[in-house]
A and B are shown apart, each in its own frame.
Chain A
Amino acid sequence: MTPYSSDHRAEVRHYLVGFALALTLTALPFGLVAWGGVARIWVLAIVAGCAIIQTVVHLRYFLHLDLSRQKREDVLLILFSTLILSIMAGGTIWIVFNLAGRM
């Protein structure tokens, strides 16, 4: 077994940091739902918050998205897709809930 280069070890550590963060952000909402005792609205808010932070962790540590080093068009592609998605998904949910409220 050849020894690992210091670059390689540093990059493995990077993945492990991301994994530890993701693990924490998964354990927290699951634990909250499993043990209960917190108002439902707070549980939902914490689940949503953890999901958003975990998505950023995955993008940062597993997909190596980094705003400073990338070519602009790649970042623009991802940001634009997210914008389109939030307009379509958010709009759908808004309109349908509004309709349901009027029924």
Chain B
Amino acid sequence: MSKHDTIHPGLNLGEHHGAAHDKAEIGAFGFWIFLMSDLIIFGLMFALYVTMQNPMGQAGGPGPKELFDLTSALIQTMLLLVSSLSFGLASLALRHHRSRAELTFWLALTLLLGLAFLSFEARDFAAMFAADAGPSRSGFLSAFFGLVPLHGLHVASGCLWLLIMLIQIRTLGLSDLVKSRLLKLGLFWHFLDIVWIGIFSIVYLGGLA
């Protein structure tokens, strides 16, 4: 295989990045292994959630129709989807050697969208707690609070990682190491959006249908 080939799934830096392009290979493959193990955890939380979707699991407590707000779910979905696009545009700015200001702009926009997503999610959880629908209320709610905040926690760590990368771009410049970290963060961010497809389809739309 020549070094001009695509070497790993996800956006490649491209051959005009020289050593950084080649070095990204093993790191990106390792990161895919992490993502896939994370996928298994999410998948089993989904399975647990689905098994709790019945009167026994709800234990006389409130169900999806009393608790979930479709508008808020739609807003969160849109925020994450747009943040996926803005991260994609950041990756392209990196790949095509655009100015550091342009890269920083798209990354900062992604960070803001991620934080907006988290604030809407936190607002929903607060409303649920206020309605006495915390995780200890029923098996259904335990499964809900095991699944959806787990995704939120991932988004929060993604935001922290974005913040760290914004600082590293300023302090370390666009070194090979920083580029390779940005590629992995991109994989992580797009992966979280895929997990969210499962959450809005199974939890919110499945619950409100």
B44→A89 contact, CB < 8 A: yes
Residues in A whose Cβ lies below 8 Å from that of B89: 12, 15
B47→A64 contact, CB < 8 A: no
Interface of chain B residues 50 through 92 with chain A (CB within 8 A) = 50-51, 54, 56, 70, 73-74, 77-78, 81, 84-85, 88-89, 92
Interface mask (A17-45 → B, CB under 8 Å = 1, otherwise 0): 01100110010011001100000100110
A15→B92 contact, CB < 8 A: yes
The reply on B115 being an interface residue by CB < 8 A is: no
Given A30-B74, A58-B84, A89-B46 in contact, is the A11-B92 Cβ separation under 8 Å? yes
Interface mask (A51-65 → B, CB under 8 Å = 1, otherwise 0): 100110011001111
A58→B197 contact, CB < 8 A: yes
Residues in B whose Cβ lies below 8 Å from that of A84: 40
The reply on B8 being an interface residue by CB < 8 A is: yes
B48→A65 contact, CB < 8 A: no
Residues in B whose Cβ lies below 8 Å from that of A33: 70, 205, 208-209
A97→B201 contact, CB < 8 A: no
- Give CA–CA (A28, B92) in the complex, Å: 29
Residues in B whose Cβ lies below 8 Å from that of A54: 197
Give the contacting residue for B70; candidates A30, A71, A88, A92; CB below 8 A: A30
Give the contacting residue for B43; candidates A11, A30, A48, A89; CB below 8 A: A89
Segment touching A, from B28-36, B127-135, B144-152, B166-174: B28-36
Interface of chain A residues 63 through 89 with chain B (CB within 8 A) = 63-66, 69-71, 73-75, 77-78, 81-82, 84-85, 88-89
B85→A15 contact, CB < 8 A: yes
A81→B190 contact, CB < 8 A: no
The reply on B11 being an interface residue by CB < 8 A is: yes
Given A5-B96, A65-B9, A93-B47 in contact, is the A77-B36 Cβ separation under 8 Å? yes
Known: A64-B9, A74-B32, A88-B43. 5 other contacts (CB 8 A): A8-B96, A15-B88, A18-B88, A51-B201, A81-B39
A residues contacting B by CB (< 8 A) are: 2, 4-5, 7-8, 11-12, 15-16, 18-19, 22-23, 26, 29-30, 33-34, 40, 43-44, 47-48, 50-51, 54-55, 58-59, 62-66, 69-71, 73-75, 77-78, 81-82, 84-85, 88-90, 92-93, 96-97, 100, 103
**For the complex of A and B, 6 pairs with smallest distance between CB atoms:** A81-B36, A51-B201, A89-B47, A96-B51, A85-B43, A92-B47
